[in-house]
Amino acid sequence: MNVLLNDFDTPPFAAITNENYKPAIKEAIALANKEIKAIVNNTQAPTFENTTVALDFSGEKLNKITSIFFNLNSAETNEEMQKIAQEVSPWLSEFRNDITLNAPLFKRIKTVYDSRKDLELTKEQQMLLEKQYKGFSRNGANLNEVDKNKLREIDAQLSKLSLQFGENVLAETNAFEMHLTAEKDLAGLPESAKEAAKQLAQEKNKKGYIFTLDYPSYIPFMTYADNRELRKKLAIANGKKGFKNNAHNNEKIVLEIVNLRHKRANLLGYKSHAAFILEERMAETPETVFNFSNELLEKAKPAALKEFKNLTDFANKLDGIQELQKWDGAYYSEKLKKEIFDLDQEVLKPYFQLENVIAGVFTIANKLFDLEFEETTTIQKYHEDVKTYHVTDTNGNFISVFYADFHPRKGKRNGAWMTSYKPQQIKNGINERPQVSIVCNFTKPVLSNDGVTPTKPSLLTFNEVTTLFHEFGHALHGMLANTTYNSLSGTSVSWDFVELPSQIFENWCYEKEALEIFAKHYETGEVIPMEYVEKIKASASFHEGMQTLRQLSFGLLDMQWHSKDPSNITSLKDFETAAFTDTKLYPDVAENAMSTAFSHIFQGGYSAGYYSYKWAEVLDADAFEYFLETGIFNKETATKFKEHILSKGGTEKPMELYKRFRGAAPKPDALLRRAGLI
């Protein structure tokens, strides 16, 4: 019997083999199709229960199996899994299209939808019905047969192209290594970065040091290495991902993706992919996003230009550099930051031992939301690095299973993300609790020669601390979900709202009261000195103008790709250069491109949505001001946040939920104040 087809609660990772996936997915699709057939063939008149609810609860086994497969394809992949992903993705696209283009099923849904005013539905039920109806109409249910087939074809192509894009980026990341043997080439690097590079070389049976494009290796080198030529070499290698004349080139794939997305939107009656996407977001239209971005750009650009000039003057004074290049930014910024605030990231790291930060995150979640985390060995994991927890409330009620996977390895993509293996829902009167996971890429503990005993624990940079809090904020959104229907549960909210719980949670990293809980020296146990805390706070808005410009440049590039007809674009590089005109600070690097490795928009779900990071910052700054007014551990404020934001998922329009928590709509002033831009 295929283990994936058995009934299980948490995934039986130890028993799953690659051979299980294809037959299990095939079988689960057949089972889901049977469930759909039962809804369509029901001889009773369509009702909210026998149609809307039945559809929401269908396909459960398939969702469970594909969650496991695609989560592992990001966190613990291999060539065989990538091949399987290429095969099964079109099956899943076809299955989803079979549902959304199923005329008799849509007819039943439309019948319920058209009679919604007479049904006395709760707000959550109304939202489910509306979301379901739009899920069909926005995916071609109202199209004729010829156009429905065109849509199927486009979706199958898009799903393959996006997978190929991601595989190319991963292959390019894995293919590059900078092998150094001369000590002088390591000048400026902190001991931890050298140790990690040495360990990497040993793992590959090489002498000396290896640096890669994985963030824990790349970022320290770009920030601290004195050797400008080597920084240039690494930066150019990073910027060439998917932009080289080889088998992993993504230029053609990007152009194919944007053209197919545009055709798809036109087919469905929308002017552009952005118009299609934004209809279901808080922003609602491309115009709103451009206006929002340009308003912030207007406020941030003068500050950014001033900061850039200061940084150039500083580099000139220090090393006689006339023109700053992209590979100089992080290096001189760190030096200038150190001079202004006398704050060295390396001095902070001993206070951020990974285990202490995890314990701190748990304590803060307990103080705010009454959660308790108990590490357990009874839950199977997909890799020995993964930690597993039982989450309960202070009354002992079970809340969630929580997985945490912290270190980089081959077969795990870069970056950090939150995902889930099972959503929360209430079915047959039982509140089924979620299984939530966060995946990060933090520096591993340094091991002694025996390869087992840690000589130094995993020490985080302050940026990594905020990353952990960020992903944990997403995890709380998943864990504290308390809705009836799984499709409205947890993080199933509009993209420009989903970053609020994650971004607001980062704010606790800057507060004395919170830092005292977990920022303790790994050797002495001494709490982080308050002068460091003050400096962390003061430096939080350092180069905020430049940072804002950088974020806006990514968001505007995304909108340029997706808000107009891309069929005349022949050169990805030229298009990108034009898109960056208003936000450009550094000289262009001819052999680099951003889009060919812009995984957020060409592999993740952020197309026409990258602006949402900044949008969510407006929400988070405004919301956190409320905590600052009442106290960062104020129970009443935390409970309001839990009740109106974290537990409600997508059961109501996000602006309504936000206003219920805050008492008013968000204003950008709090963000501009926090960033020191007003």
The two tokens of residue 4 are: 């994936």
Q: Which of 398, 469, 470, 405 lies closest to 434 in space, CA to CA? A: 398
Query: Tokens 């926090």 belong to which residue?
Result: 674
The tally of CA atoms less than 13 A away on the side-chain side of residue 48 is 18
Task: Compute the radius of gyration of the chain from its Cα atoms.
Answer: 25
Say how far apart CA 164 and CA 87 lie, in whole Å. 12
The residue from 172, 195, 471, 511 that is catalytic is: 471
Question: Which burial class, exposed, middle or buried, applies to 81 when counting CB atoms under 10 A from its CB (0-12, 13-18, 19+)?
Answer: middle
Distance (Å, whole) CA 116 – CA 114: 6
Between the two ends of the chain, the Cα-to-Cα distance in Å is 64
Hey, what amino acid is at 450? D
Q: Residue 368 CB: number of other CB atoms within 10 A?
A: 22
- The 8 Å CB, 24+ separation contacts for 550-555 are 550/583, 551/613, 551/614, 552/293, 552/296, 552/297, 552/300, 552/583, 552/614, 553/580, 553/583, 553/584, 554/594, 554/598, 554/600, 554/610, 555/289, 555/293, 555/610, 555/611, 555/613, 555/614
Which residue type is seen at 249?
N
**Annotated catalytic residue 130:** no
3-state SS assignment for residue 430: strand
Q: Please give the structure tokens belonging to residue 411.
A: 């077969």
CB atoms near residue 282 (< 10 Å): 21
Tokens of 571: 């050169």
User: How many Å apart are CA 509 and CA 531, to the nearest integer?
Assistant: 15
**Contact call for residues 624 and 603 (beta carbons, < 8 A):** no
**Residues 260/261/264/269 CA torsion (nearest 10 deg):** -140
Q: How far is it, in rounded angstroms, from Cα 354 to Cα 339?
A: 27
Give me 436's structure tokens: 């939530």
Closest CA to 264 of 553, 610, 554, 608: 608
Nearest by Cα to 56 from 649, 657, 654? 649
Looking at the annotation, which residues are catalytic?
471
